Amino acid sequence: MNILNIGSERTTYHVELAFSPLFEAVLGIAAVTYNNIRPTLEQPAEYWEQLVKELDPAVQRELDYAKQYNTWKTLLQLLHQRSFADLSSFLSYITELSPGELRYQALPYLGDELQIVRHQAASGKKSAILALQNACSSHLFFPAYIAHIASVEQETLRNHLLLLMKGWYDAHIKSRETDINRILERDFTYKKTMRDKLSAEAFVEWATHGSYPPEPAITRVLLIPHVIYRPWTIHANDVGTKIFYYPVADDSLHDSTDPYRPPQTLVQTLKVLGDEHRLRLVKMLSEKELSLQELTERLGGAKSTVHHHLSLLRSAYLVESKGNKYRLKREALDKMPALLQQFLGDRADEGH
C-alpha cells in the first residue's frame, strides 16, 4: 500500500523556568488547607498546625474560607497573568482587576475549545457555568470551585484574596524571603544549566520525576521550583502551557554540603516503605497493575485507608497511576541501593 504523508512530524515543547516566593506563599496556603495531602509532605503535622497558629485571627478566618472553597487556586492562576516583582505589585494587580476580569481569570482553563464558554461563565451565563462543570466533572474540586467563583460577590472574593495573601506572606514568607529566594534561585540556576544538556522531554522527566510527552495544544512547559510542597510535583494548565511546580532538589536546600545529611529522596523512600501494609501493596503491584478496588479487596480494610497508603507510595515516586490502575515504578526501587551506597560512600570518603 502506498502512503502519502502530508502531516507534520511530531514536535515537542520548549521549556521555561521561573521562580518567586509568591508561588511559595500560595503553595503553602494550598498545602495547609489540604488535610489529606499533609501526611505525605516532608514537614510533620505539628509544623502545619504551628503555621496556622502564627496567623492573625482575621487571616485564619480567610484560611478557613480558602479551605472550604479552594481559593488558593485563584491566587495561583492570577500569579500567571504576568511577572510580579514583589507582593505589593501582585496585590495592586488584584485590586485593579475589574469584577468580570477577576471572575474570568479565577475560572480554571479547561482547554481552548472552552475558552468562549469560560468567558460566558464569567459573565454569569448559567448554561456556560454548567458546561464548565460538566467538562471537569471527575476533578476533585473543580465543579464546586467553579460554582463558587461564578456565584460569589466579586468584591468579597477580591477582599478575601488580598487579606489572605498579605496575611500569609507577612507571617511566613517575609522574614525568610532572602533564604527562600536563595534556595529557589540555587535550584533554578542548576536546572537552567541542565536544560541545555538534555532534550526537552528528558529534562522535564529529570526535573519533575515524571514523564510528559508532547500534546498537540501545548507548545510551552513552565517549571517552577518550590520547597513547601516537597516531595510533590503539582500539575496545572494555562493557554498553550503545561505548568509543573516541582520540588527543589536536596542539594538546593543548603548552602554547604553536609556529608552526614542523607538525601531526602532516600529518607522519604525508607519512611514510606517502613510499613507492612505498604510493603504488601508494593508486592501486589510488582506482579501486575491493579485498581484501587482490586487492591482494597486483596489487602482488606477501608478503601480510604488503601488510598492513603497509595498516596504515600506516590509521594515517594514508588507508585504511579495510569487511568484507574496503579503500577509500581521499578526504576525508583532500583535506585535505592545506589542512593544508599552513594550516601555511605560519601561518609567513607570523609573518613580517609
- State the residue for C-alpha cell 514537614: 43
Cβ–Cβ under 8 Å, residues 2 and 142: no
- Is the distance from CB of 36 to CB of 311 less than 8 angstroms? yes
Q: Does 322 score more than 90 pLDDT?
A: no
pLDDT class for 211, splitting at 50, 70, 90?
A: confident
CA–CA dist 336, 334 (Å, integer): 6
User: pLDDT-based confidence at 136, cuts 50/70/90?
Assistant: very high
Across the chain, mean pLDDT equals 90
Q: What is the pLDDT of residue 264?
A: 72
pLDDT band, very low/low/confident/very high, at 320 (cuts 50, 70, 90):
confident
In 3-state terms, what secondary structure has residue 307?
helix
pLDDT at residue 148 tops 90: yes
CB atoms within 10 A of CB 130: 16
pLDDT, one tens digit per residue, over 64-119 is 999 999 999 999 999 999 999 999 999 999 999 999 999 999 999 999 999 999 99
Q: Give the list of residues 6+ apart from residue 208 with CB closer than 8 angstroms, or none.
A: 223, 233, 244, 246
The per-residue pLDDT for range 181-210, each reduced to its tens digit, is: 999 999 999 899 889 888 899 899 888 887
Dump pLDDT digits (tens) for 24-50: 999 999 999 999 888 889 899 999 999
Cβ contacts of 90 within 8 Å, gap of 6 or more: 22, 78, 79, 84, 165
For residue 78, count other CB atoms closer than 10 A to its CB.
21
pLDDT digits (tens, 9 = 90+) for 323-341: 889 999 887 787 788 778 8
Given a cut of 70, whether residue 305 has pLDDT beyond it is: yes
| Cell numbers found for residue 105 | 481569570
Residue 343: band (very low, low, confident or very high) from pLDDT cuts 50, 70, 90: confident
pLDDT of residue 241: 96
User: Which pLDDT tens digit goes with each residue over 226-243?
Assistant: 999 998 999 999 999 999
Do residues 52 and 237 make contact, with C-beta atoms less than 8 angstroms apart?
no
Task: Write down the pLDDT at residue 335.
Answer: 73
Which helix H or strand E contains 153, and what residues bound it?
none
